[in-house]
Chains A and B, each alone.
Chain A
Amino acid sequence: MLDLDRLRVCFGGLAALEGVTLSVHEGEILGLIGPNGAGKTTLFNAISGLVRADDGKVRLHGKDITRMPMHQRARSGIGRTFQAPQPLHGLSVRENLVVAQRFGAGELDGARLEAILRMTGLAARAEADAASGLALAELKALEVAKALATNPRLLLLDEVLAGLETAGRQRFITMLQGLHRQFGVAIIIIEHDIAAIRTLCPRIAVLDSGRLIAQGPPDLVLREPAVIACYTGTGGAIHG
């Protein structure tokens, strides 16, 4: 469904992404890993339209969306979360989802909205002020809920587990698995917790210094010398 073809993004003279070619299939969960500064969030930004690619193509269902503005990509079926939660200020949790559904999905669907609130554990907090009334785990859940309310076919989750304690992470992973089953949406998830990646993702891709250095099943990829080297230097192993 999503095809990246030799994607290149530069910031001044620095290539944040260089020749990234990657495909994501309908309904799959792909883990995107790599050390800090590898270009993972930049890749999400290029897919969602927050930054423009300097070269290469982004295709969704075969359609070239490389030059498409961000709001149109959202309407075309790309939902995303931000690493630092960005609730819509001045609005309640429910209003956050109403905006997402009205503009992203194009119409209000009360049943789906309630289902999203219920499945993300936000039903009891629906009328709370989104910017000031939520704990971190709830803010993370709201990020996912907003993205889901746009009725996406592809969900980009940027470190949604970061900052959560162990039990909270496990609950969040279970929630993500439930959402994936319920809505059948394809997911790319950036995550540093390798154990979580192994649990969620049948396939992973590894970025290092803006280049895609490996992709495939986690057990195979995490044993590749290039992947081990980018995380630990030249030797050792990746645990999790």
Chain B
Amino acid sequence: MALRNHSGVIASLAALAALLLAWGGNPYIMSITIAALMTGGVALAWALLGNLGGMVSFGHAAFVGAGAYVSALCTLRLGVPVPVGIVLGALGAALSAIVMLPALRLRGPYFALAILAYAHIFRIAATEWTSVTRGAAGLSAIPALPVLPGLDAKASACLLAGLLVLGFALAYRAIRASHAGLALRAMHDSEDATRVLGVNSTLLKGLMLLVSSAMAGAIGAFNAHYIGFLEPDYAFGAMWVTLPIVAAIFGGYRTLAGPVIGALVVSLADQLLFKEWLPIGHQFLLGVLLVAMILAHPSGLLPLAGNVLRRLRPGGNGKGGGHA
């Protein structure tokens, strides 16, 4: 696997590190960046399911929440170390996705609605199962993330979040480059044409759902240990669906780095610029930005940047996809 294949993600993370250094480790910037990276991680998981599994999910909040609760409960009740808890959170989210496998029979909006319904079921279960989750009262004093040597807690969390997202990008790239990835990409336009060649499309789509849910679960678990508190409406909240989708679409969900870059640009622009200009209702500007991007360049920011760079090059005509 060539390093240049990940140049988009690596370059954006390096730029981010430079930005943070330039800001002198400003805790506020760090907090926004960590939130953006978590959104980017879920956006990457969402884009993986869409690009490789051919499924549009409105239910990733279920995986984020499941991962968060599994990790929080394992560390709180069983004394499991936090890194192990995060791995268990990812596995727990993948396990929770197993009950969604029957929905793979559905296509398009029917799958999207079914998985949205599943997410609501999970939130209600977390609210009502008070003996385990403490219901709406929530879980508090969740063990914190380990702090990397030489860094403060915030900087350490920022670096860990960046590494987690980079790991997701590498996994996504590896899957995409594999033979299964070839088949998955081909399945979009004609599933029958791949099945007749021996491809078990249901199995592959199911595996993508499990991988995507594990990624989202890991982010949920990471977040639980980062903020130290969980309650169902937050852990399974709609923001875990809407923000990642906005980020992925804005950045270019068909590219590898697009969802992460989209999350960083959207979060930083929202918190550092729009909030300054319009303290109340600054999300309005975010909506305008997204609509403008969809209308002007539906494939997103990263392909747009690729086209601009090609135009600037001598002899460039600006054509090309820029897909990862």
Contact = CB atoms under 8 A, between A and B. Distances in A.
A149 B199 CA distance: 13
A75 B199 CA distance: 9
Nearest to A106: B198
Given A71-B201, A99-B182, A99-B186, A88 B196 contact: no
A90 B188 contact: yes
Interface in B206-251: none
A112 interface: no
Contacts of A105: 198
A231 interface: no
Interface residues of B, number: 18
Nearest to A86: B193
Contact of A100 (B190, B192, B198, B200): B198
Given A91-B182, A98-B182, A50 B196 contact: yes
Interface residues of A, number: 32
Contact of B197 (A69, A103, A131): A103
A80 B194 CA distance: 11
Nearest to A88: B186
Nearest to A151: B198
B190 A80 contact: no
Contacts of B37: none
A71 B199 contact: yes
A99 B198 CA distance: 9
Sorted from nearest, which 7 A-B pairs have the closest CB atoms? A104-B198, A88-B186, A86-B193, A74-B198, A89-B189, A103-B198, A100-B197
Given A100-B197, A102-B183, 16 more contacts: A48-B196, A71-B197, A71-B200, A74-B197, A87-B193, A88-B182, A88-B193, A91-B182, A96-B186, A98-B179, A99-B179, A102-B179, A103-B199, A104-B198, A106-B198, A146-B197
27 contacts: A69-B200, A70-B192, A70-B195, A71-B197, A71-B198, A71-B201, A74-B198, A80-B196, A82-B196, A87-B193, A88-B182, A88-B194, A89-B186, A90-B186, A90-B188, A95-B182, A96-B186, A98-B179, A99-B182, A99-B186, A99-B194, A100-B197, A100-B198, A102-B179, A103-B199, A104-B197, A150-B198
